[in-house]
Structure 1
Amino acid sequence: MIKIKDLTYYYPETSRPALENINLTINEGDFVLIVGPSGCGKSTILRAINGLIPNFYGGKIKGEVLVKNKNIKDISKKELFKTVGFIFQDPEKQSVYNTIEREIAFGMENLNMDITRMKKNIAEVSNLFNLDFIKEKSINNISGGERQKVEIASVVAMDPEVILLDEPTSQLDPISADEILNAINKLNKDMGKTIILVEQRLDKSFDMADKILIMQNGRITNEIGKDEINIYIDKINFLPKVSIIFKEAGFKAVPLNIKEAKKIIANKNVPNKRDSNIKSFKDEILKVEDLYFEYSPNRPILKNINFNLHKGEVLGIMGHNGAGKTTLSKILVGLIKKFKGKIILNGKEIERLNDVERVKSIGYLAQNPTLYFGRDTVFDEVSYSLRNIGDFDREKLIELLKKFDLYGIMDKNPRDLSGGQKQRLAIACTVVTKPDILILDEPTRGIDIYHKIEIGNFIKEYASLGKSVIIITHDSDFVGDFCDSTMIMHQGEIVAHGKTLDILYDAIYYSPQISRIFKDKIKVVNSKEGIEILKRITNY
């Protein structure tokens, strides 16, 4: 179905290849998973297969890409789009229409598909991706995760033979992510579609794939089947969370899912006590009382919201797509000003703060990192805020760039970065002014597992200075590892709020991987603590 021969590619004005000497064969019906660190070339391979490089991005290319034994250069755009469908990393880049059904129909219209078939396909993909309950809404009035599902549906509706997916679950809550991955698996197993998936959320996709490609610095370093994982275990760093936990605990054969993990410890003596590392906090910095908000009359988005945030506290906010999490953050930072209730920041009602005071007090990372970029280089982007407040210090700025692994790319244009690199840059832009409260909306979106740990460590370090952090995320493992307290929202209300250990350990779908491994044996949500428990209960 796909054959790549000796492919090397340079983006415009770069001296380092984004892809180097790629040779790859993908057969009809294969499910291929591509993993590796941010910026290693995963997305670029997808762009090569659907002709975006060099046709759209420009640059220098050598080698061949063949689709169904025809060189991609000799295939018409219409024929290529009929064969290869592409879901982008950022759903915002893929939207054309404001209404959901028109958006799903757009690709089919471009293929000149007959109206009867179009209607049938819209109905089928709406059912497949659970979109019927939002199909009357405007694209601009649905959550980022819902928008992502719409864009996936719009490509599947075109019925291509090959479907390329660039981090399709990055903005989805755990339930929606499972729905998407199950639908993708169904497209492969039941309908014979060839699937090429780039994904950082590996816990389920690893188990689905027939073949796993591991990339580093623009090259494919390993090409393995999932049944060969334990043969290469010492050479593979990008694994499902459960596999990494067992690998770091010293196991030579690692599980790929929770079912396998539970079998391994089924007959082990697990201690029923654990050392408590739970912090307590005294000094309140933010108080929210009886918050209510609606976009349209009698359709509340937020209702009866009450909570406190303390100095030094890291609060994780979780909930399904559309639960009101992002709306709450926009109210806190002043992007939405008309609401009912009270918000008190450092003892002062938030409406009484001017914009400068609020910006200094609360830093905000929105879901879409590209909203932050207007300068020509990474260095200029991060230094922009500091120059505005007259606090530019080159040495401190360089230190921050190194902390977020941006130093080596500080002269690149922000829009030329990978999704994970853009996300790290946006976080750096947000924290550079050192606000009292940092609100990060989906900070781990598109981030590989190792950069994720670095970001989490930075957040804990930031909180140790007496700063407060609110993390809006669908990443239960990240919350379990780095958040002191957790709030779960549902349909605009807080349904649970307390210490992370108490909230997540016995959660059904929001529990971290480590909690599921030790379910009913010991109460734990933190991966490091779980690894230490595994080390104690097993002799190697």
Structure 2
Amino acid sequence: MYKLSPFTYTFAGRSKAKKIFLDSTLIFERNDTVAIIGPSGGGKSTFLKILKGIIPEYSSGKLEGEVLFNGHPLSGVYFQENLQKILYLFQNPFSQLIYPGTEEEFLFSMENFNFTREQMDREKEKFEKLFNLKNIWGKKTSELSNGECQKLVLASMLAIGPDVLLLDEPTAFLDPTARKEFYQYLDVIRKDRLLIIVDHHVDEIRPLINKVIFVDHDGHITPGFFTKNNFVVEDISLPKPKTAEEVNVTVSDLSFSYHKDRELLKEANATFKSGEVVAVRGRNGEGKSTFFKLLSGILKPKKGQILLEKNGKTYKNDKIFPHVGFVFQNPEAHFFFDTIEEELKQSFRFLSKEHTVLKDDLLSRFFHDIDLKKSPFLLSEGEKRRLSILMTVFLEKSLILYDEPTFGQDQKSIEEIIVLIRELKKLGLIQVFISHDDYLIEKIADRVLVLEAGRLYEVPRA
């Protein structure tokens, strides 16, 4: 399958010439299951793009050295020949959607490779059961949750039977049940295939793996091994306001639906108080992100109301929006400008004088050698997520909503995010987050709410 001789890839258009490089020889064979691990932003996703042939086929950077698949390079005529053999799941599954409808999207890859109608129906039935896709047929792809989108793209790829699967954080948005089922499926299909996986759920993928590759902060690719990292992260000291803010949010009989035949939220009720950090859990497609859009005032409820009380004043439904900071599930939804520097300037405008001095400290904690002149769209997905968190926190809102705050993060970055949320808690902010990360919930959640069948239920901490 793959033979990688020493190579260097240099990114184009950088004021600091970022590279990823290999200075030894690596061989990946059929039946291997390879884990690629390392810090966020080191170059793991770039390495997968090299293995797919996207680099150098569609890259303006410079690749020097030899990367062979079945004895041939991955670019030119061989890139076209390998389209069905090597499939690559991007970290952001929405970037791979073609069709507006879910069924058309699922069938597209098979149609492209001339599958018969009988073959397509058979694969559709198989993956509908495997990934619980029945509830998404008939939906627009734009209405899918990230977890639903991830399952759809995965299913459409697996249906055409590739020889090599390159999976970039394939379970980042899956709930624990879906994640467990996916790993069980990988265990079945890994025989007679090559699987190469970037995944931060190290303990869960460990039994599947027979090779480990480490990509460090400087982009150096080496054979590696799993370790248990225990990071100690220094506390952040945010200046305390002279008067603590008193904020309360009340959700009463909240109902909402996108379609008449399915009510997504049904008379949901919840309360949130100053200084609380609350986790919201639920299976993919239950409506967690929709609940956040209602809670922020982006969407209007069909029935019921949301009240935010702040310093003696009350705001209702869409009037809440100016008081809310929302970390969207897709970090690119935050970006409007050409450079990271310009993006941050917009957020810095809202920083109080007391907190302005901390912006450089927070940037150095969240990023390794960041180039502020670079486009935010050129960051890794993990770096994009950390940038979107900082941009939102710098707005200094009373209620902060985090939709999957730790996806794509290495352990050190997760610890930095935990320290930041704990410090913001001391300021009396309300912080609510959606996550499937048991570790994060255990470390910071005061309470846990589960969204199920349209209603919110408080559950005991594990």
Which of 434, 450, 474 is equivalent to 2:412?
450
What is the DSSP-based 3-state SS (H/G/I as helix, E as strand, rest coil) of the residue aligned with 2:67?
strand
How far does residue 420 in structure 1 lie from its aligned partner after superposition?
0.5
Which of 55, 61, 64 is equivalent to 1:62?
64
**2:201 counterpart letter in structure 1:** R
Cα 1:414–1:114, aligned 2, differ >3 Å: closer, same or farther? same
State yes or no: 1:95 paired with 2:57: no
Q: In the aligned structure 2, how far is the partner of 1:223 from the partner of 1:370?
A: 31
**1:164 counterpart letter in structure 2:** L
Q: Does the aligned pair in 1 maintain the 2:351–2:396 contact within 8 Å?
A: no
How far does residue 173 in structure 1 lie from its aligned partner after superposition?
0.8
How far does residue 404 in structure 1 lie from its aligned partner after superposition?
2.2
Counterpart of 2:235 in structure 1 is none
What is the DSSP-based 3-state SS (H/G/I as helix, E as strand, rest coil) of the residue aligned with 2:419?
helix
Q: In the aligned structure 2, how far is the partner of 1:396 from the partner of 1:164?
A: 39
What is the DSSP-based 3-state SS (H/G/I as helix, E as strand, rest coil) of the residue aligned with 2:253?
strand
Which of 326, 330, 347 is equivalent to 1:364?
326
Cα 1:110–1:18, aligned 2, differ >3 Å: closer, same or farther? farther
Counterpart of 1:11 in structure 2 is 11
Cα 1:198–1:456, aligned 2, differ >3 Å: closer, same or farther? same
Q: In the aligned structure 2, how far is the partner of 1:66 from the partner of 1:214?
A: 20
What is the DSSP-based 3-state SS (H/G/I as helix, E as strand, rest coil) of the residue aligned with 1:290?
strand
Q: How does 1:230-269 map to 2 (within 5 A)?
A: 236=227, 239=228, 244=229
Counterpart of 1:195 in structure 2 is 195
Q: Does the aligned pair in 2 maintain the 1:87–1:164 contact within 8 Å?
A: yes
Which of 370, 373, 380 is equivalent to 1:418?
380
Counterpart of 1:325 in structure 2 is 288
Counterpart of 2:206 in structure 1 is 206
Q: Does the aligned pair in 2 maintain the 1:406–1:421 contact within 8 Å?
A: no
Show CA shifts across 1:174-220 (max 9, x none): 1111122222221103xx22100001121211121111112202112
Gaps of 5+ in 1: 230-235, 249-281, 498-502, 506-540
The alignment of Structure 1 onto Structure 2 pairs a total of residues equal to 446
Show CA shifts across 1:208-248 (max 9, x none): 11111122021124334xxxx5xxxxxx4xx4xxxx57x99
Which of 274, 294, 309 is equivalent to 1:311?
274
How far does residue 390 in structure 1 lie from its aligned partner after superposition?
10
**1:20 counterpart letter in structure 2:** F
Q: Does the aligned pair in 1 maintain the 2:258–2:264 contact within 8 Å?
A: yes
Which region of structure 1 is more displaced relative to structure 2, 28-37 or 377-386?
377-386
Which region of structure 1 is more displaced relative to structure 2, 344-353 or 148-157?
344-353
Counterpart of 2:421 in structure 1 is 459
Counterpart of 2:141 in structure 1 is 139
Q: In the aligned structure 1, how far is the partner of 2:199 from the partner of 2:422?
A: 26
Which of 327, 336, 343 is equivalent to 2:306?
343
Show CA shifts across 1:268-299 (max 9, x none): xxxxxxxxxxxxxx965111111111222252
Q: In the aligned structure 2, how far is the partner of 1:424 from the partner of 1:456?
A: 12
Q: In the aligned structure 2, how far is the partner of 1:392 from the partner of 1:78?
A: 56
- State the TM-score, normalized to the length of structure 2: 0.90
Q: Does the aligned pair in 1 maintain the 2:351–2:394 contact within 8 Å?
A: no
Q: In the aligned structure 2, how far is the partner of 1:284 from the partner of 1:413?
A: 36
- State the TM-score, normalized to the length of structure 1: 0.77
How far does residue 351 in structure 1 lie from its aligned partner after superposition?
3.2
**Which structure has the higher relative contact order (CA within 8 Å, separation 6+)?**
2
Q: Does the aligned pair in 2 maintain the 1:290–1:304 contact within 8 Å?
A: yes
Q: In the aligned structure 1, how far is the partner of 2:452 from the partner of 2:257?
A: 15
Gaps of 5+ in 2: 233-244
Q: In the aligned structure 1, how far is the partner of 2:329 from the partner of 2:126?
A: 29
Cα 1:392–1:381, aligned 2, differ >3 Å: closer, same or farther? farther
Counterpart of 2:236 in structure 1 is none
Counterpart of 1:184 in structure 2 is 186
Q: Root-mean-square deviation (CA), in Å?
A: 2.5
How far does residue 9 in structure 1 lie from its aligned partner after superposition?
0.4
What is the DSSP-based 3-state SS (H/G/I as helix, E as strand, rest coil) of the residue aligned with 2:83?
helix
Q: How does 1:50-129 map to 2 (within 5 A)?
A: 50-73=52-75, 75-129=77-131
Whichever structure has more helix as a proportion of its residues is 1
Q: In the aligned structure 2, how far is the partner of 1:369 from the partner of 1:476?
A: 22
Cα 1:442–1:85, aligned 2, differ >3 Å: closer, same or farther? same
Aligned identity (percent) is 32
State yes or no: 1:220 paired with 2:221: yes
Counterpart of 1:504 in structure 2 is 461
